[in-house]
């Protein structure tokens, strides 16, 4: 029989590995919910406040008391004094409220419940909390795990070792090599599937991924919660009318409907999600007959704007003043209440937001014009453009703007940048036909060209430009585009024939699925969803995915918190079929072999770029230009800042349950930097590893992110008498779910300890 209660905490990782002299007492009167560790074993105990200063009653110098030597009454020499053993920290003796962390005496910071409460470079160590298990999370209908929240203190993150092995004052990087497995996508989750009239689950807009509710019951909405997939459906082919707004989520490997709102938003328009009203939690904003309507995370209407013109909203703190604006085609709205802040003299097409002139404030462009944060005109090229992307194609630290004109007779792309000299812009490459090198035209179109993406497709270190039109999916070499003497036909990296005879303007997205430094392109035309090798254009995979096409595109995000990227794609059945089949709704595609690298748990708007939104949905007050961050010189590409090759590392410790029914407290921690999905198996054995008799099993109930832990209380009322007397020790073994990649597996077994409270470990 298992009695379960759980608590979250972050790690004093070196203590688990026996590398740190921790400052915590041994087993207390109850399990306390803390995650404290003891040297050598890493077992938990009650939280402490740090030891007293060392006993220096005998005036010793470093020569008389060499570091590490025994001294006094069970003391140890540290820093030239006879120090209480629990206060010794390398060659120092911690004093007052200091604790020893990776061979340094540090003073704990502010109270926290998770690392997002701490400053950059810190984590939340629950072992230092005073609250223990006593504080329960607020009741919330969306909670899925119901664990008890404990408090801790902020500590500095551990230093990273230069080598592969842990040291006394650092931990190694936890990474896996780039995947060499075959590209093996499979449709894992589906929503909708109504492929006969009235096709009521049809979707023909770009879904967004954003955190909307408190899944883990810690009373907050953070990046640790499971994100929602938000989209709008229509029926009977009426994509220009009002549809139904939906929020769904993947919880415990099941698709869960969170809420829906019918009859408010235009079904073919796009959405944006994030925290734009200044209150805790995230919101969703969409378009409804020229006005803008905002909803809170539960689907309740917050506000409706004046009629201004709206198709694809974007979120940004334009002025860097801590208030977020909603930018639409007609102007700029206050995110808090939807009131009009600035109207554009001439409306934009789909707005993109970036700092185009380097003045520290964000600007807005559609590929033809650029407006300042105050709504005044910054530049007008006079070149028609429906959509845009922004990146630094020549790596000079200044952004270029890619404009796309899909109009009949044009189907063109042009590149320009903002300048301080009149007329306020410089044309880098004049408009050219994106299908100049096409050898056929199955649709007979003279128009076409969808929202562009920017990414390094061929791995040469410079970004390239990709988009789809009526004839083919095309990628242009960014380095050649920025060389004026290179003919436009010679800038083509590759093209692949597709079918989009309706809008001829469908978008696409980008991701480096295997982590080899070269991006793959993900594109869905009227019939197929395809993934292309970015360097060669080879078709890595395709599957039927029918859509009448507007400007929608698949998005890439980790939607189920398993530490790997997923593809989220919309489809509709009212117009086309694929080999006699139709698709309708939302589908989530994953790697069958779990070989894809990790990515962010957010894709919050059509003009998505990484530095525009935090992973928890908050909008940065001072947005860093994407192109200035190593590895993020891209647009409509998702990427995990830091190492996408990060791996998980499950470790386990066990200690006596010092209160209530006889049993143990098991602590499962993730020492890696990629998440451990829910369902890490824990087995308790009597004896010493690798032998012993199995006593009980359990499993983790929440995803464990980098530096996160879960405590599991396991009752052992029927354990053999020699276990209950302490004569035979117990130990624990953890086994992550199938397909989870760990950077090391030699630390999945705990040290054996006595299950009797108060006995030596």
Over 90: is that where the pLDDT of 652 sits? yes
Q: What digits encode the pLDDT tens for the residues 326-340?
A: 999 999 999 999 999
- pLDDT confidence band for 610 (50 / 70 / 90): very high
Q: Greatest CA span in the chain, whole angstroms? A: 95
Q: Is the dihedral of CA 596, 602, 608, 610 positive or negative?
A: negative
The average pLDDT across 747-757 equals: 93
Over 60: is that where the pLDDT of 137 sits? no
The average pLDDT across 710-718 equals: 90
- pLDDT confidence band for 761 (50 / 70 / 90): low
Q: Identify the pLDDT of residue 601.
A: 94
The average pLDDT across 432-456 equals: 92
577-602 b/e (C-beta count within 10 Å ≥ 16 → b): ebeeebbbbbbbbbbeebbbbbbbbb
> Taking all residues of the chain, what is their mean pLDDT, rounded to a whole number?
86
Q: Identify the pLDDT of residue 129.
A: 66
Quick one: tokens of 273? 């999600």
> H-type helices in 385-453, by residue range?
none
- pLDDT confidence band for 579 (50 / 70 / 90): very high
Of 631, 606, 525, 739, the closest CA to residue 231 belongs to 606
Which of the residue ranges 161-175, 527-541, 630-644, 691-705 has the most confident prediction, judged by mean pLDDT? Answer: 527-541
Residue 446's contacts (CB-CB under 8 Å, 6 or more residues apart) are 408, 409, 411
On the CB side of 662, how many CA atoms lie within 13 Å of its CA? 16
Given strand 425-433, what is the order of strands in its sheet? 387-391, 400-405, 412-418, 425-433
Q: Distance (Å, rounded) from C-alpha 40 to C-alpha 343?
A: 65
Q: Distance (Å, rounded) from C-alpha 52 to C-alpha 49?
A: 9
Over 90: is that where the pLDDT of 115 sits? no
Find out whether 23 and 39 touch, Cβ atoms under 8 Å: no
Percent of the chain scoring above 70 in pLDDT: 87
Q: Identify the pLDDT of residue 701.
A: 81
Containing 155, the helix (H) or strand (E) segment is strand 152-156
Containing 479, the helix (H) or strand (E) segment is helix 478-481
Q: Distance (Å, rounded) from C-alpha 45 to C-alpha 31?
A: 7
Q: What digits encode the pLDDT tens for the residues 80-114?
A: 889 887 788 878 898 878 888 878 899 999 988 76
Over 60: is that where the pLDDT of 756 sits? yes
Q: Distance (Å, rounded) from C-alpha 27 to C-alpha 44?
A: 7
Percent of the chain scoring above 90 in pLDDT: 63
Q: Identify the pLDDT of residue 142.
A: 52
The average pLDDT across 232-252 equals: 96
Q: Distance (Å, rounded) from C-alpha 209 to C-alpha 298?
A: 15
Q: Identify the pLDDT of residue 63.
A: 59
pTM for the whole structure: 0.81
- pLDDT confidence band for 44 (50 / 70 / 90): very low
Which of the residue ranges 5-19, 558-572, 746-760 has the most confident prediction, judged by mean pLDDT? Answer: 558-572
Quick one: tokens of 73? 């009454």
């Amino acid at each position: 029989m298992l009695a379960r209660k759980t608590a979250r905490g972050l790690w004093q990782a070196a203590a688990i590995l026996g590398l740190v002299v921790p400052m915590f007492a041994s087993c207390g009167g109850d399990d306390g919910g803390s995650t404290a560790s003891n040297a050598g074993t890493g077992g938990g105990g009650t939280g402490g406040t740090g030891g007293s200063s060392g006993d220096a009653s005998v005036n010793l110098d470093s020569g008389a008391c060499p570091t590490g030597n025994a001294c006094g009454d069970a003391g140890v020499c540290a820093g030239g004094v006879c120090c209480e053993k629990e206060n010794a920290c390398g060659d120092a003796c911690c004093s007052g409220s200091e604790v020893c962390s990776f061979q340094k005496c540090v003073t704990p910071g502010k109270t926290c419940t998770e690392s997002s409460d701490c400053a950059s470079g810190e984590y939340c160590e629950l072992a230092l909390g005073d609250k223990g298990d006593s504080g329960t999370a607020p009741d919330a209908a969306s909670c899925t795990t119901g664990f008890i929240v404990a408090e801790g203190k902020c500590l500095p993150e551990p230093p990273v070792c230069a080598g592969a092995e842990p040291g006394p004052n650092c931990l190694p990087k936890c990474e896996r090599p780039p995947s060499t497995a075959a590209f093996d996508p499979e449709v894992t989750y589906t929503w909708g599937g109504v492929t006969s009239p009235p096709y009521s689950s049809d979707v023909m807009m770009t879904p967004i991924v954003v955190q909307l509710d408190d899944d883990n019951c810690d009373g907050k909405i953070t990046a640790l919660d499971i994100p929602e997939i938000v989209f709008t459906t229509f029926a009977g082919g009426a994509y220009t009318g009002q549809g139904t707004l939906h929020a769904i989520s993947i919880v415990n490997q099941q698709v869960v409907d969170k809420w829906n709102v019918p009859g408010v938003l235009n079904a073919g328009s796009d959405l944006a999600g994030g925290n734009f009203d200044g209150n805790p939690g995230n919101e969703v904003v969409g378009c409804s007959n020229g006005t803008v309507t905002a909803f809170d995370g539960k689907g309740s209407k917050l506000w409706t704007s004046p009629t201004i013109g709206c198709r694809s909203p974007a979120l940004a703190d334009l002025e860097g003043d801590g208030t977020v604006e909603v930018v639409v085609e007609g102007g700029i709205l206050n995110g808090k209440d939807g009131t009009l802040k600035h109207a554009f003299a001439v409306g934009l097409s789909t707005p993109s937001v970036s700092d185009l002139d380097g003045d520290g404030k964000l600007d807005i462009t559609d590929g033809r014009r650029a407006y300042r944060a105050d709504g005044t005109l910054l530049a007008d090229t006079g070149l028609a453009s429906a959509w845009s992307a922004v990146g630094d194609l020549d790596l000079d630290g200044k952004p270029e703007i890619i404009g796309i004109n899909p109009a009949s007779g044009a189907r063109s792309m042009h590149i320009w940048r903002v300048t301080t000299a009149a007329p306020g812009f410089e044309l880098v490459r004049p408009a050219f036909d994106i299908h100049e090198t096409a050898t056929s035209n199955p649709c007979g179109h003279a128009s076409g060209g969808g929202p562009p993406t920017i990414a390094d497709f061929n791995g040469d270190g410079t970004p390239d430009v990709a988009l789809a039109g009526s004839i083919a999916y095309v990628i242009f070499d960014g380095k050649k585009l920025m060389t004026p003497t290179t003919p436009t036909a010679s800038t083509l990296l590759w093209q692949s024939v597709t079918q989009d005879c309706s809008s001829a303007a469908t978008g696409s997205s980008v991701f480096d699925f295997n982590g080899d430094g070269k991006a793959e392109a993900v594109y869905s035309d009227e019939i197929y969803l395809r993934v292309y090798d970015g360097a060669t254009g080879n078709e890595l995979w395709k599957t039927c995915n029918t859509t009448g096409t507007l400007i929608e595109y698949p998005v890439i995000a980790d939607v189920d918190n398993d530490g790997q990227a997923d593809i989220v794609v919309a489809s509709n059945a009212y117009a086309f079929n694929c080999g006699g089949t139709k698709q309708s709704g939302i589908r989530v595609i994953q790697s069958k072999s779990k070989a894809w690298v990790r990515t962010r748990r957010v894709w919050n708007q059509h003009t998505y770029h990484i530095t525009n939104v935090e992973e928890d949905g908050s909008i940065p007050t001072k947005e860093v230009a994407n192109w200035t961050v190593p590895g993020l010189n891209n647009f409509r590409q998702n990427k995990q800042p830091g190492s996408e090759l990060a791996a998980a590392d499950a470790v386990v410790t066990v200690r006596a349950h010092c209160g209530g029914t006889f049993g143990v407290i098991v602590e499962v921690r993730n020492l890696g930097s990629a998440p451990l999905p829910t369902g890490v198996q824990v087995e308790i054995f009597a004896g010493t590893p690798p032998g012993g008799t199995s006593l009980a099993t359990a499993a983790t109930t929440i995803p464990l992110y980098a530096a996160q832990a879960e405590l599991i209380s396991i009752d052992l009322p029927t354990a053999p008498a020699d276990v209950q007397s302490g004569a035979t020790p117990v130990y624990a073994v953890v086994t992550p779910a199938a397909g989870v990649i760990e950077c090391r597996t030699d630390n999945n077994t705990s040290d054996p300890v006595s299950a009797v409270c108060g006995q030596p470990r």
